[in-house]
Structure 1
Amino acid sequence: MNHWKKRSSIPHLSPEEKARQGQAVRATQAALTSTDAVRGFLNTHQSLLGGRPLDVAIESAGGLVRVEQFLAGVAEIEAEQGRTMAEPR
């Protein structure tokens, strides 16, 4: 019986990356109303951001700011149109 655990090939996040990940999730939750919408947004490539918002935010503090600004901009446009990001298009 082998008692040694196999090392995971999944990269571990630094404390700073974990903090940015959490902030990105919280910002997205504040902008969207459903869990599915939050999950979908964070994990779907956004060409204006150059990648998945979660990856962009984790990568750097500047990336997190870009994701937050993107969310604010989309929310502002949709408020003017009388809908939210969570509503179907």
Structure 2
Amino acid sequence: MTDTIQPAPEVDTPAETQTETKPRRSGFQPRRMMKKMDPVAAERQGRITMLAWKKLGNENAIAFLNAHDEALGGRPLDLAVASEEGLGAVERAIESRAAA
């Protein structure tokens, strides 16, 4: 029995497979274009998030922090991140909800 050597199949090289179309852009901004959060604001965000999770539980904390609150006059997470006064108001609101 005689073995015959078959030639290797042709493979496209990367230069042959490139197209002239531009890559699609995603709807997201590149990291370099995104504004970084102030470290103090990031610390307030972490504090209020942890307090809410401890006092209200995971699902209730997420719902409370992300929904508009009429008594506070805004979204609690945004208010807490914006200023120390907002943080204090949201902390008091969490404590009163946890006590109820």
State the TM-score, normalized to the length of structure 2.
0.64
Cα distance change, pair 49–37 in 1 and its aligned pair in 2 (3 A): same
If you compute each CA radius of gyration, which structure gives the higher value, 1 or 2?
Answer: 2
Q: Letter of the aligned partner of 1:53 in structure 2?
A: P
Distance 1:17 1:45 in 2: 19
Correspondence for 2:80: 57
TM-superposed deviation, 1:37: 1.7
Unaligned runs of 5+ in 1: 79-89
Which structure is richer in relative contact order (CA contacts within 8 A, separation 6 or more)?
1
Helix, strand or coil for the counterpart of 2:92? helix
Q: Deviations over 1:30-61 (max 9, x none)?
A: 1112x222211110000111111100000001
State the TM-score, normalized to the length of structure 1.
0.71
Unaligned runs of 5+ in 2: 1-21, 24-28
Distance 2:60 2:35 in 1: 26
Counterpart among 67, 70, 85 of residue 47 in structure 1: 70
Give the % identical residues: 33
Q: How many residues align?
A: 73
Cα RMSD (Å): 2.1
